[in-house]
Structure 1
Amino acid sequence: MNLASPFSLTLCAITGLAFLGLPVGHAMIAGTIFYLWMAGLDMGTAAEQFLNGMFSNYIILAVPLFILAAELMNIGSMTQRLVVFCNAFVGRFHGGLAQVNVVQSVIFAGMSGSAIADAAGPGKVMISMMTTDNKYPTSYAAAVTAATAVLGPIIPPSIPMIIYALVSDASIGYLFLAGVVPGLLMALLMMILISFQSRRRNYPVEPPTPLRALPGITRRAFPVLMMPVVLLGGIYSGITTPTEAAAVAAAYALLIATLLYRSVSWAEFYRSMLASARTSASIGMLIAGALVFNYVVTVENIPQTIKALLLGWDLSPISFLLLVNGILLLLGCLLEGTTIILVILPVFLPTAAALGIDSVHFGVICVVNIMLGLVTPPYGLLLFIMTRIAQVPLRALVRDILPFLFCAVLTLALMTFSSDLVLWLPRVFGYAG
């Protein structure tokens, strides 16, 4: 690559602006305008790509709607009812509250599609419960919470999968289905690990819930438990598109929290709308910046160049997936997940297609890689969130999360070597891949 070429200087400009503190989305837009100026192209092309990309993709609307649904669930009493329900069924096992943490994350994953929403809502409740009376070390409670929050975007619905569908044209419905088995497998491995650790460290078992109390607990949590059914049932019955299902999820969460549970004040509702708007705007700018920058990548023919290079290496599909795993795991330690999906993955997609790798299989593998980046030292975003929520040193948190990271990497390895693990459920529902 010519270091004085417009593309090289553009990459330097984007990197420099990002290091100076400019949001990555803004940096990509500024870098693209710089490229168009140096290349002698119409600088209005940046606005054209932005408008065409943002306003012609109906699917993007699902992102702010799922974010709003997660915020509404966190401000109501839905989270507490979910935790009580999970505790009634798995709290009696070894590592009771840690097991509850995993199960509630699996259920909450069927509602929010966001790892950060899981960590900030139910995760905060679980840390408080686990550390009361010194039942568990604070670092361990934070590690379990961060590790299980990763399940949120793997088990449907999933905001990263929606963004992947935007760049790959893969079916959102089949991507959602493909995440179910890997997500449940990862959760199972984590529960086995917790059971083993709890026996060794003598962590407490919660008092068993009397059988007569189970119907009442289930009844109070039933509207919350129905949310994944309403959401995914609408998608797979054909009644709603994924975007419409996201709107239904937000409306359902609002109705349950306000009319049924009556647990949301006007001030809390305003704060949740404000938080949702801020998060959505942040993601929206990343998407906009990536759509504009991807025009530069296309003009420079980068995907086809890399495709020719990788095919020249004569890689097998498995070798290519292992290479992508290594690159994404490394990048996940340094970059935000949405940026990786929007900027890095389009470069690999042509090669994956040329090697005959299914786009749904590839997408789920990439999403799992990116989620692992959230809990991978040194810059995993969830690690920093947990240090603030739980007030624990990063070193102690990293020490306790490494065994859970091993469970996630083991799941990723199984997915890489066995596409059937990922594609079995989509094929049951008619996927031809």
Structure 2
Amino acid sequence: MTTISLAFSLALGLITVLAFLGLPMGLAMICGSVLYLLMRGQDPGIVAEQFLNGMYSNYIMLAVPLFILAAEIMNSGTLSDRLLKWCDALVGRFRGGLAQVNVLQSIVFAGMSGSAVADAAGSGKMMQHMMTQNDKYTPSYAAALTAVTAVIGPIIPPSIPMVLYALVADTSIGYLFLGGVVPGLLMAGFMMVQIAITARVRDFPVEEPVPLRKLPRMTWEALPVLFMPIVLMYGIYGGITTPTEAAAVAAAYALLVSAVVYRAVKAPDLYQSVLTSAKTTASIGMLIAGALVFNYVVTVENIPRTISAILISWDLNPITFLIIVNIILLILGCVLEGTTILLVIVPVLIPTAQALGIDMVHFGVVAVVNIMLGLITPPYGLLLFIMTRISGSPMKHIIGDVMPFLWTLIGALILFTFVPETVLWLPKLFGYVPGGAGL
């Protein structure tokens, strides 16, 4: 069995030290990879070669900046405000209604942005104000709920993490998007049930109901926002656009609705959206570039095959392997950034999953759900930090309110793991054959 070389051990150590010192993970992986290449006597120019091959020859990579731009344009306009008012009119009348609004708006917003961070940042401030006004909910509960509901964003299509998984696993983006629909809705349903129970136990307030006669008008005003997920999904699954082209349509549609229909985006707002999108894309791009180079090192070192041989020698069945993967990814999610896990750790596990006959769409959705749970898992949870900054509530209080939801979502993850049909049922309706070619 292959052993890990000294060069790889030193490269891994350098990456760990540089990351601990605060260097961005992408740059840390590039530095570690260059050290490995020098120690093995290989041309450091391989780094540039991997950049070019991975970043510029892969068409699906264009979807990432376009979905980010679409989310930024929506956040700069009044789309989030109109969406929240419509959700409040539907479910705000029930006990704990504002908490239910938080979940419902995340379901709709998930069909537009593909990013948990965009979801939390887009509606986070507004939901925090609505829920804490007149002391209806504690700041920590409002912040925790916004963080938890934002997790739905990358599960329901479109999804930036699924685009990245498709990159490393060579899997159909279209069927991955379909595979996330039922799990995302189930996660939202579990949260809404939990809120309904908690609302009675903690005596959450009941909002003044919006008269039903106003609902048609509010629906009409929100219709352009609600129509966006339909445009995207019809474009992809109607054969009109590829998923990457659908990302361009999303950005164009968001601009059209915000600037022309609602007249809520001016030139300075658009400039700021493009600037913010460029910065975010550059950050993600550097991380992807570093991962591509380091994945080359991992492949040269034969790490995936070695790990695959070890795991297969344990005579694992698919369910046992998936349980181990869930445990590994949940633990790593406590300390590592999700994109790093998706681009560096998941590719190492893919060969074993394939050898055990696990469907790549099922495996991808399970992996993405794990990684999204890492966003609300202490101590690293990125969404926890975002909502701490937005709410001003102490982190420990937010974590206390997040934990009951986290256990519920882990229960949902177990369901998706043990019952693959929760993921594969919808893709099969659209012609997916497990293990076959995709959209």
Q: State the TM-score, normalizing by the size of structure 1.
A: 0.99
Q: Could you list the per-position Cα deviations for residues 118-140 of structure 1 after superposition, in whole angstroms to 9, with x for gaps in the alignment?
A: 00011221111001111110100
Distance 1:20 1:139 in 2: 31
Per the alignment, residue 270 of structure 2 pairs with: 269
Per the alignment, residue 228 of structure 1 pairs with: 229
Contact in 2 for aligned 1:123/1:149 (Cα 8 Å): no
Distance 1:3 1:170 in 2: 29
Per the alignment, residue 147 of structure 2 pairs with: 146
Distance 1:63 1:318 in 2: 32
Per the alignment, residue 180 of structure 1 pairs with: 181
Q: Could you list the per-position Cα deviations for residues 327-356 of structure 1 after superposition, in whole angstroms to 9, with x for gaps in the alignment?
A: 000111111111111100110000000000
Q: Tell me the SS of whatever aligns to 1:42.
A: coil
Distance 2:18 2:214 in 1: 58
Distance 1:423 1:202 in 2: 39
Contact in 1 for aligned 2:67/2:248 (Cα 8 Å): yes
> Residue 230 of structure 1: CA displacement?
0.5
Distance 2:343 2:4 in 1: 24
The AA in structure 1 aligned to 2:431 is G
The AA in structure 1 aligned to 2:262 is Y
> Residue 265 of structure 1: CA displacement?
2.2
The answer to whether residue 404 in structure 2 is matched with residue 403 in structure 1 is: yes
Q: State the TM-score, normalizing by the size of structure 2.
A: 0.97
Aligned residues: 433
Per the alignment, residue 425 of structure 1 pairs with: 426
Distance 1:87 1:151 in 2: 19
RMSD: 1.0
Per the alignment, residue 61 of structure 2 pairs with: 60
How does 1:264-343 map onto structure 2 within 5 Å? 264-343=265-344
Distance 1:167 1:17 in 2: 25
Distance 2:23 2:377 in 1: 24
> Residue 4 of structure 1: CA displacement?
6.8
> Residue 158 of structure 1: CA displacement?
0.3
Q: Tell me the SS of whatever aligns to 1:262.
A: coil
> Residue 3 of structure 1: CA displacement?
7.7
Distance 1:274 1:170 in 2: 31
How does 1:32-431 map onto structure 2 within 5 Å? 32-431=33-432
> Residue 67 of structure 1: CA displacement?
0.4
Distance 1:154 1:260 in 2: 29
Per the alignment, residue 437 of structure 2 pairs with: none
Distance 1:379 1:172 in 2: 28
The AA in structure 1 aligned to 2:13 is C
The AA in structure 1 aligned to 2:148 is A
Query: Structure 2 unaligned runs (5+)?
Result: 435-439
Q: Could you list the per-position Cα deviations for residues 47-73 of structure 1 after superposition, in whole angstroms to 9, with x for gaps in the alignment?
A: 111111101101001000000000000
> Residue 267 of structure 1: CA displacement?
1.9
Distance 1:45 1:376 in 2: 36
Query: Structure 1 unaligned runs (5+)?
Result: none
Distance 1:335 1:371 in 2: 12
> Residue 266 of structure 1: CA displacement?
2.0
Farther off after superposition, 217-226 or 120-129: 120-129
Runs of 4 or more, structure 1, over 6 Å off, are: 1-4
